[in-house]
Amino acid sequence: MDSPQNGTAVIKPSVSGAWGHTSIVPLWVPVVVFAHVFAAFWLLKTWMLNSPGLQRKTRAQTRAVTKLAKHASVRVRQSLGGRPARASIDSQGGGRPRGSGGAPSKAGGQALPRIEDDAAPRRGGDQELAIQITDNESPFLQGAPAPSLSSVSVSSDVPEETADEVFQALEAAPQSLHHVLSINVAPSTLEWQGIGCSYNAPTGPKEVLADVWGIAQPGEMQALLGPSGAGKSTFMDILALRKSVGNLSGRLLVNGARATKRFIKKTAYVPQEDNFVPTMTTWEVMSFYADIILPSEWNASRRRERIREVLAEVGLAHAHRTIVGGTLPGGLMMRGLSGGERKRLAIATGILAAPSVLYLDEPTSGLDSFAALTVMGYLKRMVREQSHVVIASIHQPRSAIWLMFDAVTLLASGRLMYHGPRDGITAWFGSLGYGYDPNLHGVPSDWALDLVAIGFAKPARFYGNTISTRDDLLAASAAFKRHYLEENGLSDEAAREDDATPGAGAPGGASGGSMLRSASRDALSAASASAAAAAAAGGGAGPSAEREHSTLFGAARDPAKFASGAWRQYKTLLGRELLSITRNPFDVAGRTLTFSWVGIVMGILYYGMPFDASSARSRLNLVYMLLSFYCLMPYISMGLYSADKKFYLSDASSQLYRPLAYYLAKISAITPFQIVSACVFGFTVYGMAGLRPGYEAILKSGLVNTLMYLIASQVLHCCAVIAPNQDVAFMLSILWTTIQLLLSGFFVNFPEVLNYWLTYLRYISATYYSFEAATINEFGTMYLSCAQGLTPAEVSFLLGAFPNSSNTQRNQLNLFFSRPDPSCVLDTTQIIKYFQFWRPFWMSSVILVSYLLIMHILTFVSMLIAARRERR
């Protein structure tokens, strides 16, 4: 108890009966209103996105208003003697007006679809994708079933003659899906020799793939077949240069030259499960990939033109404004594209940059029979017209789909059983004594899969002579290998020479990272030198080796690691993040409402605390409760952080963008909304409870609360990234939160701890520094009146501020505080001294900012580690 000093604020006691007069109404009421308007805005946008009828009605009203305004403008011009100009420029005509003869045509007089060179459709706007399709174009282009296919049964056991009709209908489709492409595919021949993969297990090396040979030519669609556990996924990852673990062996050649890591830029990998943001539209998804993977020299108009081409090619022109849909983090299901349309969108993103080789992992999984047929029909026509190489792992294809493949690779137990033309598979196994009866066995692909499957009984009356043991399997595999090598003039020595494949294996594996890099550089230098010499001598294009090492979009040069620059990647990723979080009602809108409602409940409990010594305990409790809330509330976002990790790891495996660009975009997108949520809760409680008034105190409280919330959120983000699953992430986060709450200084009096060395853990507690800064802000340089006397509980709390007093002094203080005395004034700095807080406010704030920066660094490093640790 001290007398007031000059310059120190003295807070007079509140008037009895004036409940709530200390609340700061001009603070909390606008904050509550803002929170609900802010959340309602984003909820309305999300609702409109999921209500096509409302969207159409809104667009119709907008068009009507625009039309009325345009007509009014025309009438004004005509009344003034002017004449409105009507000019329309066709993008293919180089400025040619539209008219009866303005449409470009193919040889033979067949009209080509015309794609206007307008601006890209506005997201959620009223502009349609300007694509015109003539009547004689295939209905597949429009995403609708072809009439000739409507009567075909969708069962997997379609008779062979019906399958032939389906296949002929596909082959009879027009030879061009659209006008001349703005990107030409660079044809590439992919060859693999003696590919193998094994893992180091405690019981010894485990071989999952052994001695696989084959080749894929431009314009060829190849099926990768095999029972479960045959090694299809491993083989696909090796061909796509995505294999990150294992002891790899063999050679992978592109146009006769050793494939290097740069070859991955000429390939596209479409996984079984797509990685699209459910809240983005088809056009937005394509725009994202176009900005990321198309060359930086391309302007926005050219990228939009390429998007139109690809959407028309896969039959999604009509769905460019439809959201992808799916399950959001949190469990909300958004309606959007059908399963077949999503698969076609995945293919569209894969062919956007015109890859030479397209890998597809189970492209028909999850689709109904006819949707699968439609998807494969698009792939077949794309291969036929643009000379792609398509390698698709597929499980039990129906007859019509089986007939679309040109070649087949059949694996079983990691061994190559057959590689060659589709029609030759039955003849080959027939030469080994395994006969095929179409009437008995059905589709050849089903028969082949049953033939090489071992480990279960096969009835002789149905299968006849079949492969039933592992020895039979190995013998058949060895026979085919001998046949393949003899037929192609190859030998095992060719595969063992510099025995390694790109995509470095595990340490100590056969891939030998340093040897591989050296061999790749030597092969590249030799190929480039020979190509340059051939070009200089013949005046034409170099050999195929040069084409493999040249860029897709220009002359031969070393391609950059990323097609787009860091700034463009940052802007594009920022746009995707904003769409993802603002259109998810459980994210921005849901979090803002949650913080506001919890703040209102807490504010009601502490509403209008009096400005006297009797409120000292309640004020201190409320300061700590605010900080505890900021430690706990980020847990509602754990599912979002886990989902973000999945998106990043999928993109990182394809090397789409720079990790730093992604992280900066992520932080730039979520931080402003986190600040809004923190301020909504903090200012609502602050104003309703009537904490220390004054602009400076309010702003300081907002700063401390926001920093505490950002730190807690970032810690949970880091745990979600580095943990192998969400359960472990919760465990790590709870451990950190426990340290924050126990070692904040509110519960534990550090000088009284027996094992005092444990109290040093408080220096890694962000809540400790936040509680220090918030306590100094609330109680620093302030006197509270105790003229009305205090209750025994309040006296007991205040006596704790005098820990060094004797029993006699404490009795005197108890007597003094208990009775009314107009001269009684409490110096609140004693409360600060009781907690041994000595740092000024600015120092605690700097420590909190540093803590936040350290957590950002740890999260980014954890993200890089998680990407490297992702086993494939």
Give the model confidence (pLDDT) of 243-289 as tens digits: 877 888 899 999 988 888 778 888 888 888 888 989 899 999 999 99
Considering the domain boundaries, does residue 416 fall inside one?
Answer: yes
Which pLDDT tens digit goes with each residue over 180-226?
Answer: 445 677 888 999 999 999 888 888 788 889 999 999 999 999 999 99
Within this chain, do residues 375 and 259 fall inside the same structural domain, yes or no? yes
Spatial contact of 264 and 655, defined as CB atoms under 8 Å apart: yes
Band of residue 241 on the pLDDT scale cut at 50, 70, 90: confident
Burial 669-693 (b: 16+ CB within 10 A, else e): bbeebbebbbbbbbbbbbbbbbbbb
Residue 269 DSSP SS3: strand
Helix (H) or strand (E) holding 486: helix 470-488
Taking residues 536-547, report their average pLDDT: 36
Model pLDDT, residue 65: 52
Q: In this structure, which amino acid lies at residue 110?
A: Q
Distance CA 682, CA 573 (A): 31
Position 787 pLDDT exceeds 70: no
Position 542 pLDDT exceeds 80: no
Spatial contact of 376 and 363, defined as CB atoms under 8 Å apart: yes
Spatial contact of 127 and 119, defined as CB atoms under 8 Å apart: yes
- 779 alpha-carbon distance from chain centroid: 46
Position 20 pLDDT exceeds 50: no
Distance CA 626, CA 128 (A): 50
Model pLDDT, residue 539: 37
Band of residue 90 on the pLDDT scale cut at 50, 70, 90: very low
Spatial contact of 783 and 825, defined as CB atoms under 8 Å apart: yes
Distance CA 511, CA 515 (A): 8
- What is the average pLDDT value for the chain, to the nearest integer? 76
Within this chain, do residues 499 and 601 fall inside the same structural domain, yes or no? no
The lowest-confidence range among 92-106, 339-353, 656-670 is: 92-106
CATH number for the domain harbouring residue 486 = 3.40.50.300
Model pLDDT, residue 459: 73
Considering the domain boundaries, does residue 501 fall inside one?
Answer: yes
Which of the pair, 397 or 33, is modelled with greater confidence? 33
Considering the domain boundaries, does residue 82 fall inside one?
Answer: no
- In the block, which residue shows the tokens 């999945």? 646
Residue ranges making up the domain that contains 249: 190-523
Largest CA distance in the chain: 113
- 294 alpha-carbon distance from chain centroid: 19
- 173 alpha-carbon distance from chain centroid: 36
Position 126 pLDDT exceeds 50: no
Considering the domain boundaries, does residue 770 fall inside one?
Answer: yes
Which of the pair, 148 or 858, is modelled with greater confidence? 858
Taking residues 327-335, report their average pLDDT: 78
Last residue of a domain, one of 523, 551, 583: 523
Distance CA 666, CA 863 (A): 12
Within this chain, do residues 297 and 416 fall inside the same structural domain, yes or no? yes
The alpha carbon dihedral of 532, 534, 535, 540 has a sign of negative
- Give the CA distances from residue 367 to residues 103, 110, 147, 486, 565, in Å, rounded to whole numbers and listed in that order: 37, 33, 20, 40, 37
Band of residue 716 on the pLDDT scale cut at 50, 70, 90: very high
Within this chain, do residues 512 and 574 fall inside the same structural domain, yes or no? no
Which pair of tokens denotes residue 80? 């003034």
Model pLDDT, residue 833: 82
Band of residue 116 on the pLDDT scale cut at 50, 70, 90: very low
Band of residue 411 on the pLDDT scale cut at 50, 70, 90: very high
Position 298 pLDDT exceeds 80: yes
Band of residue 631 on the pLDDT scale cut at 50, 70, 90: very high
- Give the CA distances from residue 378 to residues 143, 150, 272, 819, 853, in Å, rounded to whole numbers and listed in that order: 10, 17, 17, 90, 49
Fill in the DSSP letter of residue 13: P
- In the block, which residue shows the tokens 């890694």? 764
Position 581 pLDDT exceeds 50: yes
Model pLDDT, residue 790: 63
Model pLDDT, residue 136: 35
The long-range contacts involving 418-424, CB below 8 angstroms and separated by at least 24 positions, are 418/448, 418/480, 419/213, 419/214, 419/480, 419/484, 420/484, 422/223
**DSSP string covering 149-175, please?**
GTTS--STT--HHHHHHHHHHHHTS-S
Distance CA 777, CA 686 (A): 13
Within this chain, do residues 475 and 371 fall inside the same structural domain, yes or no? yes
Percent of the chain at pLDDT exceeding 70: 70
Considering the domain boundaries, does residue 711 fall inside one?
Answer: yes
Considering the domain boundaries, does residue 314 fall inside one?
Answer: yes
* CA neighbor of 623 nearest in space, from 738, 778, 795, 783: 778
Taking residues 813-837, report their average pLDDT: 72
Last residue of a domain, one of 466, 492, 523: 523
Band of residue 230 on the pLDDT scale cut at 50, 70, 90: confident
Band of residue 821 on the pLDDT scale cut at 50, 70, 90: low
Close Cβ partners of 716 (under 8 Å, ≥ 6 residues apart): 634, 635, 637, 638, 641, 729, 733
- How many Cα atoms are found within 13 Å in the side-chain-facing hemisphere of 547? 17
Taking residues 421-447, report their average pLDDT: 89
Which pLDDT tens digit goes with each residue over 826-846?
Answer: 777 778 888 888 899 999 999
The lowest-confidence range among 319-333, 352-366, 800-814 is: 800-814
Considering the domain boundaries, does residue 560 fall inside one?
Answer: no
- How many Cα atoms are found within 13 Å in the side-chain-facing hemisphere of 614? 18
Model pLDDT, residue 271: 86
* CA neighbor of 342 nearest in space, from 364, 309, 312: 364
Query: What's the distance, Cα to Cα, between the start and end of the chain in Å?
Result: 69
The lowest-confidence range among 45-59, 94-108, 302-316, 822-836 is: 94-108
Which pLDDT tens digit goes with each residue over 515-536?
Answer: 333 333 333 333 333 333 333 3
Band of residue 23 on the pLDDT scale cut at 50, 70, 90: confident
Within this chain, do residues 420 and 329 fall inside the same structural domain, yes or no? yes
Model pLDDT, residue 662: 95
Within this chain, do residues 224 and 337 fall inside the same structural domain, yes or no? yes
Taking residues 680-705, report their average pLDDT: 94
Within this chain, do residues 759 and 615 fall inside the same structural domain, yes or no? yes
Model pLDDT, residue 327: 82
Within this chain, do residues 279 and 410 fall inside the same structural domain, yes or no? yes
Model pLDDT, residue 474: 92
Q: In this structure, which amino acid lies at residue 275?
A: N
Position 656 pLDDT exceeds 90: no
Within this chain, do residues 518 and 622 fall inside the same structural domain, yes or no? no
Position 171 pLDDT exceeds 90: no
Q: What is the 3-state secondary structure (H, E, C) of 374-437?
A: HHHHHHHHHHHHHCCEEEEECCCCCHHHHCCCCEEEEEECCEEEEEEEHHHHHHHHHHCCCCCC
Taking residues 458-486, report their average pLDDT: 86
Last residue of a domain, one of 456, 489, 523: 523
Model pLDDT, residue 820: 63
* CA neighbor of 286 nearest in space, from 304, 267, 312, 262: 304
Model pLDDT, residue 109: 40
Band of residue 748 on the pLDDT scale cut at 50, 70, 90: confident
Within this chain, do residues 343 and 461 fall inside the same structural domain, yes or no? yes
Q: How many Cβ atoms from other residues are within 10 Å of residue 428's Cβ?
A: 20
Spatial contact of 224 and 394, defined as CB atoms under 8 Å apart: yes
Distance CA 430, CA 441 (A): 13
Model pLDDT, residue 206: 86
Distance CA 762, CA 772 (A): 12
- 555 alpha-carbon distance from chain centroid: 33
Within this chain, do residues 488 and 623 fall inside the same structural domain, yes or no? no
Considering the domain boundaries, does residue 669 fall inside one?
Answer: yes
Work out how many domains the chain is built from and give that number: 2
Burial 548-559 (b: 16+ CB within 10 A, else e): bbbbbbeebeeb
- In the block, which residue shows the tokens 């909390």? 28
Position 401 pLDDT exceeds 80: yes
Among 273-277, 412-416, 857-861, the range with the most confident prediction by mean pLDDT is: 857-861
Taking residues 665-678, report their average pLDDT: 96
Which pLDDT tens digit goes with each residue over 587-605?
Answer: 899 999 999 999 999 999 9
